[in-house]
Each structure stands twice: as structure tokens, then as C-alpha cells.
Amino acid sequence: MTRGRLRVFLGAAPGVGKTYAMLEEGRRLRVEGRDVVIAIVETHGRTATQAMADGLEVIPRRTIDYRGVHLTDLDLTAVLARAPEVVLVDELAHTNAPGTSHDKRWQDVEALLDAGIDVMSTINVQHIESLNDVVERITGVPHRETIPDEVLRRADQVEVVDLAPEALRGRLAEGCIYPSGRIDAALSNYFRVGNLTALRELALLWLADEVDSSLQRYRAEQGIDDKWEARERVVVALTGGPEGRTLLRRGARIASRSAGGQLLAVHVTNQDGLRDADPAELAAQRELVLKLGGTYHEVVGGQTSKALVDFAKGANASQLVIGVSRRSRLVALVTGPGIGATVIRESGEIDVHIVNHASAGSRFALPHTGGALSWRRRVLGAVVALLGGPLLTLLLTVFRSEESITGDVLGYQLLVIVVALIGGIWPALIAAVLSGLTLDFYFIEPVRTLTIGEPAHFTALALYIVNAVLVSYVVDQAARRTRAASRAAAESELLATVAGGVLRGQDTLLALVARTREAFGLDAVRLRGTDGTLLSEDASRPPSSVEADPATVPVGEHAVLELVGRPLEAADRRLLGVITTQMDTALEYRDLSRAASEVGPLAEADRVRTALLAAVGHDLRRPLTAATTAVTSLRSSNISFSPDEQGALLETAEQSLGTLSKLVTDLLDASRIQAGVLGVVLEPVRPEDVILPALEELDLGPGDVQLDLPAEFRLLLADAVLLQRVLVNLLSNAIRYTGHGEPPVLSVSDFGGRAELRIIDRGPGIPDDRKGQVLMPFQRLGDTDNDTGLGLGMALAKGFVDGMGGRLTLEDTPGGGLTSVISLPHAPQPHPVLLTGDSVGAA
């Protein structure tokens, strides 16, 4: 079955005419003979919209009864059964009524499209998921109903129903959008000119981006590489050098000259991963790109010019900005045309701008002849040149003949190449000069003289020197590449080691300081605050033997890194800059964590205080009101009460004041627990000395609680008063939730060297995800009756048990219900205590 087509009318704000335009298009299609029906249209009482809907077939809505309220919504089953050619579905982002097959209306539309039915729908820009938060910041009005961008992008056709802000405000003032009672508020808030202008721009830009994406897809499908200047796109090539900022600003100016111009910055990395770009400079240029409103890209390519042109063509760029080469004229003459010339030749129809800058090459510079090779290799090369020359001369003299001159020349040439491979340019130059003089003195007529009788002899000597320079240059570059690769591998390993140490749970600052000392072979590394406070330290020797004059490196604005040992090279300092950045981040994270830890208790205290006020406002008022009413009635001289009525009022006042006293006591106990000033007196306690008073306080008779007590049991180390309060709270909860079923069980046992008191009920139990919550203050687990108190019982029980050095945990009762387990230590008594009474009884 062919999937249906989706056509969406997009508006910047309510009232622009989306629904009207959809109905108008539906009427036009019906005139053309298409089968068009209305599945659901929201006219919002607008006369013009209702008039446009008249005459079109309407599929009755589905009625849903939700919590006594009758709701109507799209009847998907009826529409599928009707199977029209085109169906009109208003408000694509609408949330369906509970009980329907889909949560969102756009899901209903997807079902219609899958059935081969064409759909026309409407949506406002604030309902697009990616723009929802932007619209909220503009208008200050949150919108909960959204639609994924991908759903809208899959639409076959999206049309913006556009209306100028002043025209829309005029329609609103005329009462064409909202009733008269809402007009003034709407004009002063959501429908302000600035808001409507911004929303209009958002809608147009979203559609423009969608059109651009469609164009890119079409070009890719059709294999079109030619430049289509539908939008000005400027690509700026970054090398990582200092000229990048100049190029970016020039590219931004070029892009800004056309409406909708786009700036793209690209850096090409060689496939071998070795590059001369400065990472810090590239990071700064990336930040500048974002400030200029552009995007940063990084691609990998073996040939920089080809990768750059391929990227520009792939982005459908119209302009390409590159900088003048930083190479000198001599180097450019020797190595041939640079990237700029190649880019111009391969760019095709893309305009190439070559921008001059301060770093452009303008003077002669010799290649660096040292540094890459170690001094040992250079010395070895010189030794080979000084010793190899005489030995080779001796060997060639023994086998010399008139026809051997060519072999003599190649032999000395080989010596020059070997010396160049070993020691670089300077030993190779020495070998070339000495070999040329030796050839002239021993093997070229007139022998035994240094006279150069023919120009060819001079040319041979020059060729020796040129060959030595070229070979040594290649060797030097290879050595530099090798060193760079080794350096990159070492740096990556160092950073991976540091990150691994942190992930394995090591202290972040200590791990960074220790790895810094190890990586650079230092004697000691210290991290100090700007006030001189030692934050972290790592040393390979005792502190007394470490010199006291370290090099310092700033770590952000709040710390200084002290380095004791060898001076660091420039490359080492670049890596050290990366590590200090991580240290600065770690310091900032530590400060934020410390601030969060300080704010956490304040937030918790504020939460408890808020809950306390809410609870006090209700639970204390009730008994206080009852007691006040009873006493006021008794003191009234206008009403005479019988003795029974007076007794009832006094009983009410007494009960209310008792309840009030208990609530106040609980609040004071909760405050003491929270402040950490709960008074606890630990002493040996008999289990029955707290169990029986708790049962008496609750006025429990036989059969109300089942006791399971052992015949012998060691004394508990507890506070008898607090433990009795704990048992009263837990038993009262167990009885309340058990109801008239099986009575709760109170058992005492020994487990793991500690005493356990278990209160077992057969009530509904508590879900696992709520067990921790009920042990917090002011949690009633859904109770709303007036007899449940402040919701402090379980929290007080936990606080009291914790104060006695015990643990209160909640477990599921096998077969259903909740088991509260109080774990307490035994009193230090060597002998067991014999309990009186039956091992199993009832109170």
C-alpha cells in the first residue's frame, strides 16, 4: 500500500489563519472531485472558520468518559473505516484524551498515513520540540504539547501561513481570535509586537532550514556537485596558525553581505595524525567561530587541498577563504606550488579568496639543521666521515685503474649518503668537501695536486654538497616526524594514565600532581593556593632534600604549580598547559562540590521547615480548635449543659490537649534529631521492660498483638525511654494498616551478634521504591485522614534508633505486609538473662 502524503500548515502564533487555510484547501480539493472529510477541526468559536468548514463531511468525534467528565476527540477507527482520500486533522501536536489508542494526535496521523490516506494538518511554531524552549524564553509562556522535529520534517509539504504582527494584533483587537474578555491581556502579553516578530522569524527560519535540507538531499540523490547559489556559504580554511583569526573575520564579513549567509570553518588534519597546528590556537579560533555565528568542522585527509575542496563542494559553498602561504619564496620555488594554487585549480565554480596576513612568508630562511637528531648521532656521523674517508681512499688506491674513476666517484658518493643518514647535514657537508678534495688529489689528473683543471670537476664537488644537503634534509624531517609521533604517543599515554587514575577513584588533584612529576622526571611537584596553602604534593625524595627555589606555573586564578627539578622544554610546557587546565577544572569542581555540600543541608532544612509549616498549619490547628471550642462552650453563660454534656466536652478538651501535647513532643523530638542534639542514655535494658510499657501505652488487650519472645536473651544496650517510643510508633502503624485482619507480631531474636526486634504486620505493605521515603519526616504514604498526625512516627523511630547506635530497616513480610526490623547491640554482660513468662504469648 502506498503511504499517504502529509501536508502541514505552520503558523507563528494562534490566529494567523492555519485552520482557515487548511479548510480552504480542503474545499478546493473537493471541487476538484477529491473525497475530503473532516476528522477534527477546532474552530474556537470563530465565525469565519466555522463558515469555511460548512459543507464538508465531518466524521463524528469519539466521546470518552474520564473521571466523570465527557471528553471528545478524534475517532481514528471511524476515519479508517470511512477511508477517504483526504482527511483534515487540526492541531497536530494535541494530546489525546486518556483511553484512546495513541497518546498524541500526530501518532493518529501516522496511522492514517500508513493506511494510504492523505492528511492535512496544522501546527504552531511553539509546538516544535527544538523551538519549544526558545519560544518560552521569548514569550514567557510554557507549552507542554510538542511534536518531534523528525515527524514534521517527514511531511511531504510544509507551508507557512504568514501574517504581519500588526495585522494579527488588528484581528485580535476586532475579536476574531479571542473573546472580548481576553483581548486586553493577550495584546499586553503574548501578542506583543516584539514577541510576534520573533515568532514569525522562527517559523520562517525553520522552514528555510528545512528547504535547505531538502535541497541538499536532492543534490545528493541526483549526484549534483555543481555550485547552486541558493544561499551564500563561506568556508574558511584554518591551518592552526595565527592567521586564522584574520581569515575568520574576513569570512564573516563576506557571509554577512548576503541575507542568510552562513560561515563554516574547517581544519584539515593529516592522516598520520602529526600536525604543526597549535591546539591552543585552534581552540581559540573555534571559540571565535561560534562568536561569529558560524560552525567549526575538522576533517582528515591525506592531501590538504583535495580534502578542503571536497568539503567545500559537499557543503555547497559559494566562497572559499584561504590565507597566503607562510612558506618563503625560496621554499615555494623548490617545493612547487602550494595549497593555494592547487585549491584554485580544483575549486571549479567556487570563488576562492586568498587573504594576506602578517604571517605570510616574505623572507629567506634556511631549514632547521639541528634539534631533530641527537648530538650522539651528529658526533657519530662526523666520526664516520673522518675515518671512513681515509679507509675508502686506501681501498680505492689499492684497486685503482684508469677505468675505475666512475666507481671511485660512486664510492665517495655512497660515503656522503651514509654519513648524511647517520649524522645529518653538517657531517654530510664535511664528508662531501673532503671526498671532493680527495678525488681531485688522488684520482683526477693531474694527481697529487688540488688543481681543478676542468669545470666538470668543480661540478662534481658541487653535486656532492647538494646531495648531502638533500639527503640530510630528508633524514632530519623523518627524525622530526618520529620524534613527534613518539611525543604524541607519550602525551596520549600520560593523559590516559591521569584520567584512569581519577576514574579508579584516586584523588583528582593528587593523581594529576603525581603523574606530572613522573612524566617530566621532576624531583617534586606542589600545588598551592594563591594564599600559600598546600593543596597537594608529590616528591621523589624527602621534602628536606628538595631544593626550595622551584619554578612556578599558574593554575587558573586560584592556584600555583611549583616544579622542582630540571627546566622544562617548550614542548613539555605545552603538555603541562593541558595538565594545568585539568587541575584548574578539578579545583573548580572541588569548590563547587564543597559549595553544594554546604547548600545541601540548608536545602534539606528548608524542605523540612516548609513541610513542618504545612503540617503544623493543619494538624496542630485541629486539636487546638477542638479544645478551644470545648472550653469556650463550658465557660459560656448563655447555655446550660447537663452533667453528661459537660463530661463529654471535658473529655473532648482532654483528648485534644493530649493529642496536641503528643504532636508538640514529636515536633521537638524531630527538631532535636535534625540538629544532632538528641539526648541518649545507653544502659542495659531487658526487652520486656520496654515491650510491656509500650503495650500499656497503646492500651492493647489480649489478641491485639502476638508476642514471640525467647526464654533466654541477653540484655540490650539502649535508651529504655527512646526504645519504648520507637515500639509505640511502629506498633501503632502496624495495627492501623493491619486493620481487622491478623494481629501484628512482635518478636525478639539474635542475628549476627546483635539483637533484633521485629514488628510484623499483614497490611498492604510498602513498595520498594517508597521504603526509604517513609522513613523521612512528614511522609504519610497517601494518608489524608485527620488521625494520622504529622507523618513523623517512622522518621522519629529511625532517628531514635540511629541515636542509640542501631539500625531500622523495612522488609517485605512473606505473604504480604511490612516487617520493621530494629537492630541493636547487646549489653556487655557475660551471662544470659532468664525471661519470665511463656515463650509465646498474647497481650
Q: Is the pLDDT of residue 467 over 90?
A: no
* Closest to 11 measured CA to CA, from 104, 121, 94, 155: 121
Question: Which residue has better confidence, 757 or 361?
Answer: 757
* Residue 605: inside a domain: no
Q: Is the pLDDT of residue 390 over 80?
A: yes
* Residue 457: inside a domain: yes
263 and 352 in contact (C-beta within 8 Å)? no
Question: Which residue has better confidence, 581 or 460?
Answer: 581
What is the pLDDT of the chain when averaged over all its residues?
Answer: 76
Looking at the DSSP bridge assignments, the partners of residue 658 are none
Q: How far apart are CA 76 and CA 61, in angstroms?
A: 9
Structural domain count of the chain: 4
CATH of the domain at 726: 3.30.565.10
Task: Tell whether the torsion through CA atoms of 48, 50, 55 and 56 is positive or negative.
Answer: positive
SS3 126: helix
Q: List, as one string, the DSSP characters of 461-518.
A: HHHHHHHHHHHHHHHHHHHHHHHHHHHHHHHHHHHHHHHHHHHTT--HHHHHHHHHHH
* Residue 226: inside a domain: no
Amino acid, single-letter form, for residue 563 = L
Assigned C-alpha cell, 720: 529504655
Q: Is the pLDDT of residue 36 over 80?
A: yes
The residues, ordered by sequence, that sit 6+ positions from 28 with a Cβ below 8 Å of its Cβ are none
Q: How far apart are CA 432 and CA 443, in angstroms?
A: 16
Highest mean pLDDT: which range of 87-96, 370-379, 381-390, 512-521: 87-96
Q: pLDDT per residue over 785-843, tens digit each?
A: 444 444 566 777 787 788 788 888 888 887 788 888 999 988 885 544 444 444 334 43
Query: What separation in angstroms does the CA of 17 have from each of 181, 186, 661?
Result: 21, 17, 66
Domain final position from 333, 355, 377: 355
Residues 758 and 820 in one domain: yes
Assigned C-alpha cell, 460: 662534481
CA 377 to chain centre: 50
11 and 203 in contact (C-beta within 8 Å)? yes
Averaged over 500-505, what is the pLDDT? 48
836 and 691 in contact (C-beta within 8 Å)? no
Range of the domain at 306: 233-355
Q: How far apart are CA 111 and CA 103, in angstroms?
A: 13
Residues 244 and 201 in one domain: no
> What percent of the chain stands above pLDDT 70?
72
SS3 576: helix
* Residue 43: inside a domain: yes
Residues 335 and 427 in one domain: no
SS3 552: strand
| Cis bond before residue 446 (omega within 30° of 0) | yes
Q: How far apart are CA 464 and CA 451, in angstroms?
A: 18
Q: Is the pLDDT of residue 63 over 70?
A: yes
Which residue, chain included where needed, has cell 584523588?
Answer: 507
Q: Is the pLDDT of residue 125 over 60?
A: yes
799 and 667 in contact (C-beta within 8 Å)? no
552 and 569 in contact (C-beta within 8 Å)? no
Assigned C-alpha cell, 502: 581519577
pLDDT at 368: 44
Neighbours of 386 (CB within 10 A): 14
* Closest to 43 measured CA to CA, from 32, 58, 30, 28: 58
Residues 199 and 252 in one domain: no
| HEC-encoded secondary structure of 227-283 | CCCCCCEEEEEECCCCCHHHHHHHHHHHHHCCCCCEEEEEEEECCCCCCCCCHHHHH
Q: How far apart are CA 458 and CA 465, in angstroms?
A: 11
Q: Is the pLDDT of residue 570 over 80?
A: no
Q: How far apart are CA 819 and CA 708, in angstroms?
A: 14
Q: In the chain, how many H helices and how many E strands?
A: 26, 27
> Which run of H or of E encompasses 305?
helix 304-314
Neighbours of 616 (CB within 10 A): 14
> What percent of the chain stands above pLDDT 90?
9
pLDDT at 636: 75
C-beta pairs of 103-110 under 8 Å, 24+ apart in sequence: 104/147, 105/74, 106/147, 106/151, 108/74, 108/76, 109/6, 110/151
Residues 252 and 200 in one domain: no
Residues 245 and 193 in one domain: no
* Residue 92: inside a domain: yes
CATH of the domain at 193: 3.40.50.300
pLDDT at 545: 47
Q: How far apart are CA 601 and CA 607, in angstroms?
A: 10
pLDDT at 193: 81
Q: How confident is the model at residue 218 (pLDDT cuts 50, 70, 90)?
A: low
Q: Is the pLDDT of residue 290 over 60?
A: yes
Averaged over 753-759, what is the pLDDT? 87
The residues, ordered by sequence, that sit 6+ positions from 223 with a Cβ below 8 Å of its Cβ are none
The residues, ordered by sequence, that sit 6+ positions from 760 with a Cβ below 8 Å of its Cβ are 734, 744, 745, 746, 747, 813, 817, 818, 819
Averaged over 398-413, what is the pLDDT? 76
Averaged over 530-548, what is the pLDDT? 70
Q: How far apart are CA 746 and CA 731, in angstroms?
A: 8
Averaged over 212-216, what is the pLDDT? 56
Q: How far apart are CA 486 and CA 151, in angstroms?
A: 50
Residues 786 and 755 in one domain: yes
Q: Is the pLDDT of residue 333 over 60?
A: no
The residues, ordered by sequence, that sit 6+ positions from 186 with a Cβ below 8 Å of its Cβ are 172, 177, 178
Domain final position from 445, 480, 515: 480
Question: Which residue has better confidence, 345 or 86?
Answer: 86
CA 41 to chain centre: 41
CATH of the domain at 278: 3.40.50.620
Assigned C-alpha cell, 181: 474578555
- Could you give the residue ranges of the DSSP H alpha helices within 347-404? 375-398
| Sheet containing 551-555, strands listed edge to edge, beginning at the edge strand earlier in sequence | 534-539, 524-529, 559-564, 551-555
> Which run of H or of E encompasses 434?
helix 425-438
The residues, ordered by sequence, that sit 6+ positions from 560 with a Cβ below 8 Å of its Cβ are 527, 528, 529, 530, 552, 553, 554
* Residue 10: inside a domain: yes
804 and 791 in contact (C-beta within 8 Å)? no
Residues 241 and 331 in one domain: yes
Residues 833 and 702 in one domain: yes
The pTM is what? 0.36
Q: Is the pLDDT of residue 542 over 60?
A: no
Averaged over 520-527, what is the pLDDT? 82
Highest mean pLDDT: which range of 144-158, 539-553, 787-801: 144-158
Q: pLDDT per residue over 446-465, tens digit each?
A: 777 766 666 766 676 677 66
Going by their DSSP bridges, the two strands 706-708 and 712-713 should be labelled as: unpaired
Residues 153 and 261 in one domain: no
460 and 436 in contact (C-beta within 8 Å)? yes
* Residue 737: inside a domain: yes
Residues 207 and 344 in one domain: no
Domain final position from 432, 461, 480: 480
pLDDT at 611: 53
Residues 207 and 237 in one domain: no
Q: Is the pLDDT of residue 674 over 70?
A: no
694 and 722 in contact (C-beta within 8 Å)? no
pLDDT at 472: 66
Averaged over 740-756, what is the pLDDT? 82
Q: Is the pLDDT of residue 783 over 50?
A: no
Q: How far apart are the first and last CA of the chain?
A: 76
Q: Is the pLDDT of residue 217 over 60?
A: no
Q: What burial class does residue 123 get, using C-beta atoms within 10 Å of its C-beta: 0-12 exposed, 13-18 middle, 19+ buried?
A: buried
Q: Is the pLDDT of residue 84 over 90?
A: yes
Averaged over 96-122, what is the pLDDT? 90
Looking at the DSSP bridge assignments, the partners of residue 323 are 355
* Residue 203: inside a domain: yes
Assigned C-alpha cell, 104: 498524541
CA 212 to chain centre: 29
Q: How far apart are CA 688 and CA 727, in angstroms?
A: 12
